[in-house]
Structure formats: structure tokens, C-alpha cells
Amino acid sequence: MSGPTSTVGLVVSKGNDMERTEKERVVAELAEQLRSTESLIVADYRGLTNADLVELRAKVRGSGGRFQVVKNTLTRRAADMAGTESLLALLEGPTAIAFVETDGDPVAVAKALSDTAKDTKILSLRGGMLSGRSISGDEIEELAKLPAPEVLKSQVVGVIIAPITQLAGLLAAPVRDLVGLIDARITQLEERGGAEVADEAPAQEAAAVEAPADDAEETQGTEEPVAEASADNATTETDAGDDQTTDETEQG
């Protein structure tokens, strides 16, 4: 009787050692995950079926996360080791943690959990961490409402580019206006110059036609004094002749 009993006791002892070693391994792995993960979500999965859990794991995995059911006792030890004591208050009842991978999307993971909670009316979000900061279940719901990263990035780029585009337009507008004014002024000057040339040509022709008449008038004006001078000379000579005749008559 004593032999088998001792043998059984030895086997049980080995089983306890193996179980302890397994728990230590699980705690060490959880602690490492908690240290390396900046974002995670803690949920209460109580009431979900195995099919629901399988579907939820697939959704979280597709969003860049890993959904894992954990034991609270081991997770508390892991949280102590990792220095994430803020999780201790969330470890009550059946617990599952969605760890967001380094290249994962916290918004997409939150959306996957939030959609499952709405569809099943069973899953509840307790809280978690986002970029190392503690967040509540309500904040996770708000996080799930954010647009996808691609949409958010395009919106941000649009907000950034819009003022630059407007500024470029404002800067280019005066330049375009100045160029337009210069072109208009050049065209105006060209048209005015052509009109002035066209007006000067008839004037020059008219001046050329009127020149002989003016010369004739100047010639006539010059000759009249000569004629008058001749007449005066003739009158003087006549008067002189008359005087001479009168003298001769008186002498005779």
C-alpha cells in the first residue's frame, strides 16, 4: 500500500512542478507582451460562444492585433513584472486582451471589438492603453468612431495643402494681373502709335501742297515795295522835271 502511494505522490509532485513551470512561462510571455505593446484593449468576453471568439480573433488579426483569453491571476503577476499596474483594476471576471501589434492599427482593432459588442450585445469593453496611456471603455468607443488611417491622412493632407494652394493663388494673382496690365498697355501704345503715324501722313502731304502758295505770297510781298519805290522815283522825277520847266519858263 505504501509503495504505490509514494509513487502516486511523486507523480503528483512532478505534475505540480510542471504546472508551476508552465504558469511561469505564461507569466513571462504576458509580461513581455505588456512591455512591448503600447496599445491594448481589455474586454469581458463572458457569454460569447466559441464561434464568436473565432470570428472575433479573425477580425482583430486582420486589423493588426492579437486577441487572447487570459487568466486574471497570471495577468496580474505579469502586469506587476511589466510595470503596467494600471491594468490591475480591469482584471475582474472573464478577461480577454486584444494586443495591438507594432504595425497594427489601434483604431481598426477598437472598431472590430466595438462592432462585435454591438452585434452580440454580450462583449463589453473595460478599458486599455493607447500609446502607453490608460483609456476607458468609453474612450475606446470614441476611438472606434475615428476614420480609417488612409482617410484621416488624406483629410490632414487636404487641410495642410489647402492654405498653401490658396497662398499660391494669391501670390500668382498679382503677377497675372501685372502681366495682363503690361500687355494691355503695350497693345494700347501700339494702337496709339499707329494712329499718330496715320494722322501725321495727311498733315505732311497737306503741308507739301500748301508750300508753293506760301512762297508765292512771300514773293509778292517782297516785290510790292519795289514797285512802290519805282512809282515814288517816277513821281520824284516828274516833279523835278516840272520844277525845271517852270524855272526855264520864268527865266525866258
Strand locations in 74-219, DSSP E? 95-100, 124-130, 133-136
Q: What is the CA radius of gyration of the chain?
A: 58
The total domain count for the chain is: 1
> Are 44 and 93 spatial neighbours (Cβ–Cβ below 8 Å)?
yes
Edge-to-edge strand ranges of the sheet holding 95-100: 65-70, 95-100, 40-44, 124-130, 133-136
> Are 227 and 220 spatial neighbours (Cβ–Cβ below 8 Å)?
no
The C-alpha cell at 89 is 483594476
Q: What is the pLDDT of residue 8?
A: 41
**115 lies in which domain range?**
2-146
- Per-residue pLDDT 10s for the chain (252 aa) are 444 444 444 444 556 776 888 999 999 999 999 999 999 999 999 999 999 999 999 999 999 999 999 999 999 999 999 999 899 999 999 999 999 998 899 999 999 999 999 999 999 999 999 988 999 999 999 999 988 666 656 656 666 666 666 656 655 555 555 556 666 667 777 777 666 655 565 555 555 555 554 444 444 444 444 444 444 554 444 454 555 544 444 444
Q: Which whole-number Å values give the CA distances from 123 to 63, 72, 114, 251, in the listed order?
A: 18, 17, 8, 171
The CATH number assigned to the domain holding 80 equals: 3.30.70.1730
Task: Output the pTM of the full model.
Answer: 0.56
The C-alpha cell at 67 is 486577441
- Note whether residue 133 is domain-resident: yes
Q: What is the pLDDT of residue 93?
A: 93
C-alpha triplet 40, 41, 47: angle, nearest 5°: 145
- Note whether residue 140 is domain-resident: yes
- Note whether residue 229 is domain-resident: no
Q: What is the DSSP letter of 148?
A: P
C-beta contacts of 119-124 below 8 A and 24+ residues apart: 120/47, 120/48, 120/52, 122/45, 122/46, 122/47, 122/48, 122/52, 123/43, 123/44, 123/45, 123/48, 123/52, 123/56, 124/43, 124/44
Q: What is the pLDDT of residue 187?
A: 77
- Biggest distance spanned by C-alpha atoms of the chain: 220
